[in-house]
């Protein structure tokens, strides 16, 4: 939604609703309703949709939460389909020439979202944003609670909103549907209210209700949050991302009411290191780090230019030419996701991974955890159920490169330091 709730007049709120696409209107919105109580009142504080008593003698209202979900009519479904068909065509993922390191990191994160995302740094004009956005076609479908704005998982309570959990405890049957994993773009100029969500206090005063409009973090739950030029992101938005990435939950505090919802997403960022460094706290939250360089081979450069020219001339025909490769890669990802739980890694390999991390003076244990997860995901992608040293050698530079302490006098690339230490430990 381009505009935010909380505008200065009800006419503006009407205009916002009119400009909202059908897909946005069909999602469920959490609404806090106010109604008077007799005698001394007890306030109600909401934490994630759960009503809790608050000792406040001055309040004149009880606060209750209800959910409003609008059914999608056939006409709306048709309009939604037409809108999807008329969207800007996306460059096919298999058509990306070179940049294998970046593509592998992205695929591993789709297979195992718990890896924690990927940071892509490199020269301008090397296809970073194009590659990330081309990932949309490969994203698999997931089960969600129908009409829930937070994409709650019907089976995993860790990514289920408190309201859905409350309904399940009461024994209510909730409809489940399949939907593709979301990719949400976080623009540099976004406001904190748009990212976190906000409460329309004007509606509370004029209509007697407080309506909470979920933000981008709610939409990105169980999906991908992409930040282009992440090193230029404002500090207050970086703080919001750090908080959500650390806890997996987003808490909105507005006008004395607290609403919390799951916000577990794959964080993907891209940027040019020449334009500024990324804050160390945020850099550590990225599971993997990919470095992208300009292609130097003349033949490859010509091929990239020709492929881009074909796409610009006729996007639909170009996408059709890669349809077979797209479908093959999609089935490979789906198979890897389903077989990931059966992949094992030997104890001695785990010990060697931790030894590499310890000898490189990597702070914390995130490096160990991410390397183990990434190696398993790579084995699953290759159709195996056991991790080999070659799998670890492939992913360990991307998992540890950005976690090394920087030495201003060191000229060697940190990725090469990781590779040297790997071969020293693994023999």
Q: Which residues are catalytic?
A: 366
What CA–CA distance (Å, rounded) separates 192 from 4? 11
- List the beta bridge partners of residue 270: 120, 228
Q: How many Cβ atoms sit within 10 Å of the Cβ of residue 16?
A: 17
Distances, alpha carbon 385 to alpha carbons 107, 205, 335, 392, 396, in Å: 18, 59, 12, 14, 19
Distances, alpha carbon 137 to alpha carbons 209, 319, 330, in Å: 40, 11, 8
Report helix angle 366-381 to 389-400, nearest 10: 130
| Pairing label, strands 50-54, 43-47 | antiparallel
């Amino acid at each position: 939604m381009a505009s935010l709730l909380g505008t200065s007049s009800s006419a503006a709120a009407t205009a916002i609703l009119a400009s909202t696409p059908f897909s946005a209107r069909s999602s469920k919105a959490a609404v806090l309703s106010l109604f008077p109580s007799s005698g001394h009142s007890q306030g109600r504080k909401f934490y994630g949709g759960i009503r809790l008593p608050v000792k406040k003698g001055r309040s004149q209202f009880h606060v209750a939460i209800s959910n409003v979900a609008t059914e999608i009519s056939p006409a709306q479904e048709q309009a939604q389909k037409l809108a999807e068909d008329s969207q800007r065509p996306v460059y096919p993922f298999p058509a990306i020439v070179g940049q294998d390191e970046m593509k592998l990191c992205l695929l591993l994160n789709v297979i195992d979202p718990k890896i924690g995302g990927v940071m892509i740094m490199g020269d301008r004009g090397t296809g970073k944003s194009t590659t990330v956005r081309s990932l949309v076609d490969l994203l698999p479908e997931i089960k969600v609670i129908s009409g829930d704005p937070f994409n709650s998982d019907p089976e995993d309570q860790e990514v289920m909103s408190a309201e859905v959990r409350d309904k399940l405890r009461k024994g209510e049957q909730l409809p489940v549907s399949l939907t593709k994993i979301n990719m949400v773009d976080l623009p540099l100029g976004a406001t904190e209210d748009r990212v976190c969500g906000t409460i329309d206090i004007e509606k509370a005063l004029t209509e007697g209700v407080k309506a909470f409009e979920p933000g981008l973090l709610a939409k990105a739950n169980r999906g991908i949050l992409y930040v282009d030029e992440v090193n230029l992101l404002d500090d207050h938005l970086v703080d919001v991302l750090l908080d959500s990435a650390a806890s997996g939950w987003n808490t909105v505090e507005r006008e004395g009411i607290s609403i919390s919802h799951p916000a577990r997403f794959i964080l993907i960022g891209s940027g040019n290191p020449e334009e500024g460094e990324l804050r160390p706290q945020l850099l550590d939250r990225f599971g993997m780090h990919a470095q992208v360089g300009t292609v130097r081979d003349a033949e490859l450069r010509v091929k990239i230019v020709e492929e881009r020219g074909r796409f610009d001339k006729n996007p639909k025909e170009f996408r059709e030419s890669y349809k077979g490769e797209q479908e093959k890669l999609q089935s490979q990802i789906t198979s890897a996701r389903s077989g990931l739980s059966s992949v094992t890694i030997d104890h001695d390999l785990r010990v060697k991974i931790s030894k590499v991390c310890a000898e490189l003076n990597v702070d914390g244990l995130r490096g160990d955890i991410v390397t183990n997860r990434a190696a398993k995901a790579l084995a699953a992608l290759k159709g195996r159920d056991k991790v080999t040293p070659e799998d670890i050698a492939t992913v360990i530079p991307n998992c540890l490169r950005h976690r090394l302490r920087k030495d201003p006098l060191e000229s060697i690339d940190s990725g090469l330091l990781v590779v040297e230490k790997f071969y020293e430990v693994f023999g």
